[in-house]
């Protein structure tokens, strides 16, 4: 279903989250071929980076007295590369800059150390649980940088708020990158695992990134999300939601934030109304597409 949605929307460049990494890129190449076979774009240029999911630390990160569990890795994962980031593009791609993947929490400015974290874990654990890299894209209208992000979910922890503080540090790192003078236009894209109004997660770091003067927020909406309505006492507009969750309720956690170098022509979330033919592309239950909806933005560089 996911391949059918991508073929239908037909973006020039798409960042995939939750895509298992393999060193030879066979899975990503097969997925790109599947999209093309469905009359979708020819994604001749592909990148998958081995990120921090499932990468062993050799430490007891979760404090359960055992080593080698999925929560003892730099990022949660039962194997190295589980649920990583991958990029498909119609346009040539440069080599990815993975500095954000290797930086540690202990060397990250502004990162808050959760209570109970040992010195060994704080000094060794990497900032990014999953992806955090940059790649240059040579589009016909000019070159630009894609910043690929997948932040920690601010849940699955305790009162120390280990994951919530890590999410905040990751969003803060991207904001600090935006503070620097950029040689090329930028598009920050990915799963930030934080909603401006609802759900768990510290809101100020997200606001600092979302409202950063370097970026603009197209605020993409969908009819399907709007019709799903506000759930579980949420206060944010349901039309902005990007994920269809039953437990925490629908939230806006996926973003495309272009720098101010761009003019936004249009934007949306692929979440069609249930009574439209496109709704069939979402599938249902376990046979359906991801609960995360595809977020798209149509951009052109300003003169």
The dihedral through the CA atoms of 176, 179, 180, 182 has a sign that is positive
Determine the Cα–Cα distance for residues 65 and 226; give it in Å rounded to an integer: 46
pLDDT tens by residue, the chain, 303 residues: 899 999 999 999 999 999 999 999 999 999 999 999 999 999 999 999 999 999 999 999 998 999 999 999 999 999 999 999 999 999 999 999 998 899 999 999 999 999 999 999 999 999 999 889 999 999 998 999 999 999 999 999 999 999 999 999 999 999 999 999 899 999 999 999 999 999 999 999 999 999 999 999 999 999 999 999 887 789 999 999 999 998 888 999 999 999 999 999 999 999 999 999 999 999 876 567 889 999 999 999 998
**3-class DSSP assignment, residue 107:** helix
**DSSP assignment of 160-186, as one string?**
T-HHHHHHHHHHHHHHHHHHSPPSS-E
Where do the domains of the chain lie, and which CATH numbers do they carry? 2-301 (3.60.10.10)
Burial of 7 (0-12, 13-18, 19+ CB in 10 A): middle
Enter the pTM of the model: 0.96
Q: Which CB contacts under 8 angstroms, 24+ apart, belong to 227-231?
A: 227/273, 227/274, 228/271
pLDDT at 289: 83
pLDDT at 100: 87
Q: How many CA atoms lie within 13 A of 246 on its CB side?
A: 1
Beta-carbon contacts of 6 under 8 Å, excluding residues fewer than 6 positions away, are 14, 35, 40, 294
pLDDT at 261: 97
Determine the Cα–Cα distance for residues 154 and 231; give it in Å rounded to an integer: 19
**DSSP assignment of 219-281, as one string?**
----HHHHHH---TT--S-GGG--B--SSS-SB--EEEEEBTTEEEEEEEE----TTSGGGGG
Q: Could you tell me if 52 and 126 are in contact, meaning their C-beta atoms sit under 8 angstroms apart?
A: yes
pLDDT at 287: 67
Beta-carbon contacts of 81 under 8 Å, excluding residues fewer than 6 positions away, are 20, 21, 22, 50, 51, 53, 54
What count of residues does the chain have?
303
Beta-carbon contacts of 278 under 8 Å, excluding residues fewer than 6 positions away, are 8, 270, 272
The tokens for 40 are 């979708």
pLDDT at 243: 95
């Amino acid at each position: 279903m996911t391949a059918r949605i991508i073929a239908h929307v037909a973006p020039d460049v798409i960042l995939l989250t939750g895509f298992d990494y393999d060193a030879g890129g066979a899975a990503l190449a097969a997925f790109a071929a599947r999209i093309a076979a469905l009359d979708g774009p020819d994604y001749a240029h592909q990148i998958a980076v081995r990120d921090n999911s499932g990468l062993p630390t050799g430490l007891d990160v979760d404090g359960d007295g055992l080593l080698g569990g999925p929560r003892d890795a730099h990022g949660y994962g039962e194997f190295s590369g589980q649920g990583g980031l991958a990029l498909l593009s119609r346009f040539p791609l440069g080599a990815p800059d993975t500095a954000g993947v290797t930086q540690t929490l202990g060397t990250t400015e502004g990162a808050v150390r959760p209570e109970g974290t040992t010195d060994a874990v704080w000094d060794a654990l990497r900032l990014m649980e999953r992806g955090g890299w940059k790649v240059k894209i040579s589009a016909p209208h000019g070159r630009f940088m894609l910043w690929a992000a997948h932040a920690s979910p601010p849940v699955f922890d305790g009162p120390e708020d280990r994951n919530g503080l890590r999410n905040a540090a990751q969003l803060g790192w991207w904001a600090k990158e935006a503070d620097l003078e950029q040689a090329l236009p930028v598009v920050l894209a990915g799963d930030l695992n934080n909603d401006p109004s609802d759900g768990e997660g510290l809101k100020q770091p997200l606001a600092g990134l979302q409202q950063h003067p370097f970026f603009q927020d197209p605020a993409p909406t969908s009819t399907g999300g709007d019709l799903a309505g506000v759930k579980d006492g949420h206060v944010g507009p349901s039309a902005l939601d990007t994920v269809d969750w039953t437990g925490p309720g629908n939230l806006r956690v996926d973003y495309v934030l272009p720098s101010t170098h761009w003019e936004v022509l249009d934007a949306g979330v692929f979440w069609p109304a249930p009574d439209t033919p496109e709704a069939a592309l979402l599938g249902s239950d376990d046979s359906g597409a991801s609960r995360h909806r595809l977020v798209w933005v149509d951009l052109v560089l300003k003169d």
